[in-house]
């Protein structure tokens, strides 16, 4: 996407990578390479965690794209706690080795944004959707479909970043946020939506089609 000209590494990681590099070099200079090895390992971890490669956007206006890299942990009928409606819930769990950039699953306008502080239990657990820190977007598609996209913090994640608010317009696959160090994204879709993935399946942000709107 042209709206975020990142050079493969997400801007959220530049400070962490710089600190890790300086620490590794400093310890190597002062104490030798052996003592600096853990810092070099941490530097490699930071680079892989904050990688943010560009993604191709599949065609199809009714397609709901994955908002995150990770593994499908929930596909079930549920109650949307934000819009108070019956829906289809699809959840993507991200471990620390996944890309953590979050992207819009559909094209539309952000109607409302909610932020809720909370706990930091394992994001793979169902209770994380209602107990953990979370940031929710109500997105209305161009044909009037309502979708709720929720960033949920995890056991290690302590920082949810969201760069859009009510009134913002999102393109399909547009980068809109980031969650640091393990988390999940919940999608609450219209109840007649057809899932295109299965529980346990590995998905990629933007490139994987999660569902099709009826």
Going by C-alpha positions, the residue among 194, 197, 206 that lies closest to residue 91 is 197
Q: What are the structure tokens assigned to 3, written together?
A: 């709206």
Helix, strand, coil % (nearest 5) of the chain? 20, 40, 40
Q: Exactly one of 66, 101, 104, 183 is catalytic; name it.
A: 183
The three-state DSSP-derived secondary structure of 120-177 is CCCCCCCCHHHHECEEEEEEEECCCCEEEEEEEECCCCCEEEECCCCCCEECCCCEEE
For residue 7, what are its two tokens? 């050079």
Any catalytic annotation for residue 214?
A: no
Q: Active-site residues: which are they? A: 183
């Amino acid at each position: 996407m042209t709206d975020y000209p990142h050079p493969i590494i997400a801007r959220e990681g530049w400070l962490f990578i710089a600190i890790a590099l300086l620490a590794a070099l400093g310890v190597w200079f002062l104490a030798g390479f052996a003592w600096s090895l853990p810092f070099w390992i941490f530097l490699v971890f930071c680079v892989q965690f904050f990688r943010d490669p560009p993604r191709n956007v599949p065609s199809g206006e009714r397609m709901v794209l994955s908002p995150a890299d990770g593994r499908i942990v929930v596909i079930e009928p549920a109650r949307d706690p934000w819009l108070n409606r019956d829906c289809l819930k699809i959840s993507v769990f991200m471990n620390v080795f996944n890309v953590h950039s979050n992207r819009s699953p559909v094209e539309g306008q952000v109607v409302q944004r909610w932020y809720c502080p909370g706990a930091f239990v394992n994001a793979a657990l169902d209770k994380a959707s209602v107990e953990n820190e979370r940031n929710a977007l109500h997105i209305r598609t161009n044909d009037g479909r309502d979708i709720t996209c929720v960033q949920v913090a995890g056991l290690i994640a302590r920082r949810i970043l969201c760069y859009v608010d009510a009134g913002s317009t999102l393109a399909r696959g547009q980068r809109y946020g980031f969650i640091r160090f393990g988390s999940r994204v919940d999608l609450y879709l219209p109840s007649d939506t057809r899932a295109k993935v299965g529980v346990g399946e590995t998905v990629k942000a933007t490139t994987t089609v999660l569902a099709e709107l009826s």
